[in-house]
Amino acid sequence: MSADGRDAPAWLRPNVAALDPYVPGEQPQEPGWVKLNTNENPLVLPEVVEAVAEAATDAIRTYPDPLCTALREALGARYGLPPESVLCANGSDELLTLVVRAAAGEGDRIAFPDPGYSLYETLARIQNAFPVPIPFGPAWELPVEHLAAAGARLTLVTNPNAPSGTPFRLDELDALARQVEGLLVIDEAYVDFGGETALPLVRRYDHVAVLRTMSKAFGLAGMRLGYAFGAPATIAALRTVQDSYPVDRITQEAGLAAVRHFDAALANCREIAARRDRYAALLRERFGWKVWPSATNFLLAETAPRAAPEVFEGLRRRRVLVRYFSRPRLAGALRISIGSEAEMAALVRALEELLA
């Protein structure tokens, strides 16, 4: 029987039949929602939109460059690495699938801080590997020694962390890199909103890879473009388990345009970070919530004395979507994406009505 209670097909692997699949944030199909539940960027560069429109020609009848050569060269030049140290993919989620597929087999350990991105455990269980969640410290401190002691073939760290928004220092990640036995992957989906990048570790260690995405900082969640940095041997190994044409032609052009206008995208990130800090202060002062410090484009807010599920449902009835996780340590909190100024004002109005 599958995890949802239905009879599983006879051919299905038992570990997949027992799997609780990853559940993404709700994506309403009708207009009129204030959508602050999936950490989407409210700002997208018009130059990227123009590049996408220009790329929509009859050239789409032909396959894209399977190696994303021009995009890898542009990313390498931007970040100071050779193209051989760059891998492009269908979002950073595909990159996570690749590192799990390449590094961990049945019964191997995959370690990660907990609570974090729940897809890590799902990918481990698909592979029939053994997930090893290591609890964060009480103030979301990175458990470096415990992660290293797990003896994992693959260690995954989100920096800054999701869903807490906590950034980790480079020296902490360096200490972890010195101690882990297998591949260390640092998932930097949110680093452009205020975190410290671990890219120096890629130049220092052959067993460290850094993952990035254009979904958050560049506002291209709908395009699905991720990229990894690592030693050439690491990137070559990941490419051996990747699909034939992972990034379509139009998405490659969007990525090139984003790199060309990189500084404008970072200016957008700074604007969102400033809004994040203003609304963190507002939620603390007006509603008495505990809002954890964040270096991302979202906030983790504890809603006591009101129950977080009650606030979540009350907001949803008012067509405002935020994210609620029923997992331990998160059950009393909501994760709130930083949207446009109008969207954040709508959130506050809904909360004032709900909590009056």
Give the β-pairing of 333-337 and 323-324. Answer: antiparallel
Strands (E), the chain: 34-35, 86-89, 109-114, 130-135, 154-158, 183-187, 208-213, 226-229, 290-291, 298-302, 320-321, 323-324, 333-337
Give the pLDDT of residue 2. Answer: 60
Here the contacts of 102-109 (C-beta below 8 Å, separation 24 or greater) are: 102/237, 102/238, 102/240, 102/241, 103/153, 103/154, 103/182, 103/183, 104/129, 104/153, 104/154, 105/129, 108/152, 108/153, 108/154, 109/150, 109/151, 109/152, 109/153, 109/154
Q: Quickly count: other Cβ atoms within 10 Å of residue 37's Cβ.
A: 26
Give the pLDDT of residue 8. Answer: 84
Class of residue 317 by CB neighbours under 10 A (exposed 0-12, middle 13-18, buried 19+):
exposed
Q: Which residue has the tokens 């990660």?
A: 112
Residue 229 backbone dihedrals phi, psi, to 5 degrees: -120, 135
Radius of gyration in angstroms for the set of CA atoms belonging to the chain, rounded to a whole number: 20
- For residue 185, the SS3 value is strand
Q: Give the global pTM.
A: 0.94
> Are the beta carbons of 127 and 101 closer than 8 angstroms?
yes
Domains present along the chain, CATH in parentheses = 14-43+263-355 (3.90.1150.10), 46-260 (3.40.640.10)
Q: What is the pLDDT along the chain (356 residues), one digit of tens a residue?
A: 566 667 889 999 999 998 888 888 889 988 999 999 999 999 999 999 999 999 999 999 999 999 999 999 999 999 999 999 999 999 999 999 999 999 999 999 999 999 999 999 999 999 999 999 999 999 999 999 999 999 999 999 999 999 999 999 999 999 999 999 899 999 999 999 999 999 999 999 999 999 999 999 999 999 999 999 999 999 999 999 999 999 999 999 999 999 999 999 999 999 999 999 999 999 999 999 999 999 999 999 999 999 999 999 999 999 999 999 999 899 999 999 999 999 999 999 999 999 98
